[in-house]
Amino acid sequence: MRRLDSQMKETLSKILSAPKMGRRIAMTVSGVLLNGVLVGLFKVSRMGVDPFQVLCAGLDHVIPIPFGTLYAIVNLILLIGMFFADRHYIGLGTVINMLFLGYVAQYAQNFFRFLFPSPSLAVRLLMLLIAIPFLCLAGSLYMTSDLGVSTYDVWALTLDRRTRFPFRFLRVGTDLLCVGLGFALLGFTPAGMIGPGTIITAFFTGPLIDFFNRKVSRPLLER
């Protein structure tokens, strides 16, 4: 037992002493938490939801179980898929995403609703314009830190590593696939899920994350 405990401490010590590990952990935690805050702001704007949420809403429309349970099952299935696709992307970021992102987003949503109980159209548009680029920056931070990503992000990243297609185009493809499947499951009716924010995120999340990777996150990590 003591030997096992010693081995675990030695392994943890090696991990923490790896080059730039402190910076990578900081980028992972701040990226995921910032992502949760901005998801809350995005929802308060009421301009549609992100592509993955459209897919989950479509599944919720046809599968008669509570949404929270369904969302957990979908993420569990994707997590299992990560073990077979590329387990390299399972790490601290994956755990934080699964355990804390939903709570942070919910608290942030309640906070922004308290600040803006009846936002005008202009305020909602401003929220959207703030949320989308900073969501992409948050995603860029924790992806570049390479300490694990969300169960959804991993698919475009894995295809990027295994094919000749760049990430920015692969992410657009996975986002559009989610929107298409979710829209079909919803019976081709928006149902309050699809809006300008959905379309913008579907087409621009990949290119914006790629931009922030090159201009912000990689220089920050290597500085």
Q: In this predicted model, what pLDDT tens digit does every residue of 2-26 receive, in sequence order? A: 554 554 455 445 445 566 788 899 9
pLDDT average, residue stretch 17-36: 86
pLDDT average, residue stretch 196-213: 93
Q: What is the 3-state secondary structure (H, E, C) of 33-73?
A: HHHHHHHHHHHHCCCCCCHHHHHHHHHHHHCCCCHHHHHHH
Comparing 6 with 36, which gets the higher pLDDT? 36
pTM: 0.82
Residue 103 CA to residue 99 CA, distance in Å, equals: 8
Percent of the chain with pLDDT over 90: 40
| pLDDT above 80: residue 47 | yes
pLDDT average, residue stretch 72-96: 85
pLDDT average, residue stretch 183-202: 85
pLDDT for residue 4: 45
